[in-house]
């Protein structure tokens, strides 16, 4: 599986185009402007990729700005955890709280839960439920190539925010990291919702929040 990262919008939110054998999935349509959205389409065309699925790690407003664009372009809905529903329904409220505007996507009808799989090309992504930063946070794992797209759970030197957002739990977030992500193994590459790509090994060794969680 090849992972093409993009960083979009004033919140510097990552969007990932994952592809294999000419098929692709888009994870977190964080593109806000038409030009940002079109840059993803340009890469799809450049690599001659067919979109198989549109996916969300969670539905905080900075991760969904471009959802409507891709829904209309590819005539399909985003798939997300069931707990995403109220966040999409309140997308306008979320946007107002952060002083931005959003064209809210449709409410996901297909829900992803722990253990579900998503296939494209020869790749099968596995879904882990990793709540804490948000109740709908999920991580997409590709075990064969040791890569995971984690959303706002684990960042380089940091972890997802649990203050000033609804329905967060720092304890649950640290449990998600220690019980779901660290067991993936130190060689796993992590593609986070914000900031640079990292590895489980690097974060286990250097991330102060992970070290705090491991001491508890």
Residues of the shown chain interacting with Zn ion in the complex, contacts defined by CB under 5 A: 60, 62, 152, 193
- Cβ–Cβ contacts within 10 Å for residue 111, how many? 14
- Cβ–Cβ contacts within 10 Å for residue 73, how many? 16
Least distance (Å) between residue 160 CB and Zn ion: 6
Residue among 53 and 62 whose Cβ is closer to Zn ion: 62
Residue among 60 and 129 whose Cβ is closer to Zn ion: 60
Residue among 103 and 167 whose Cβ is closer to Zn ion: 167
Least distance (Å) between residue 11 CB and Zn ion: 6
Residue nearest to Zn ion (CB): 60
Least distance (Å) between residue 22 CB and Zn ion: 30
- Whole-angstrom Cα distance, residue 133 to residue 105? 21
Least distance (Å) between residue 58 CB and Zn ion: 6
Conformation bin of residue 157: beta by default, left when phi > 0, alpha when psi is -120 to 50? left
Least distance (Å) between residue 154 CB and Zn ion: 12
Residue among 52 and 63 whose Cβ is closer to Zn ion: 63
Residue among 58 and 68 whose Cβ is closer to Zn ion: 58
């Amino acid at each position: 599986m090849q992972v093409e990262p993009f960083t979009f919008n004033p919140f510097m939110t990552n969007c990932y185009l994952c592809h294999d054998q000419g098929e692709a999935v888009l994870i977190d349509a964080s593109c806000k402007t038409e030009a940002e959205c079109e840059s993803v389409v340009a890469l799809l065309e450049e690599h001659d990729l067919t979109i198989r699925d549109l996916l969300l790690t969670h539905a905080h407003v900075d991760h969904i700005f471009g959802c409507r664009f891709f829904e209309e372009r590819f005539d399909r809905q985003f798939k997300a955890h069931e707990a995403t529903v109220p966040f999409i329904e309140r997308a306008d409220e979320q946007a107002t709280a952060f002083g931005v505007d959003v064209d809210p996507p449709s409410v996901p009808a297909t829900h992803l839960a722990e253990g579900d799989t998503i296939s494209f090309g020869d790749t099968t992504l596995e879904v882990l439920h990793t709540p804490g930063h948000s109740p709908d946070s999920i991580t997409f794992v590709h075990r064969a190539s040791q890569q995971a797209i984690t959303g706002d759970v684990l960042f380089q030197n940091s972890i997802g925010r649990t203050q000033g957002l609804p329905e967060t739990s720092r304890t649950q977030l640290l449990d998600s990291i220690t019980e779901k992500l660290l067991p993936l193994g130190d060689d796993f590459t992590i593609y986070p919702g914000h900031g640079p790509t990292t590895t489980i090994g690097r974060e286990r060794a250097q991330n102060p929040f992970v070290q705090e969680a491991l001491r508890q």
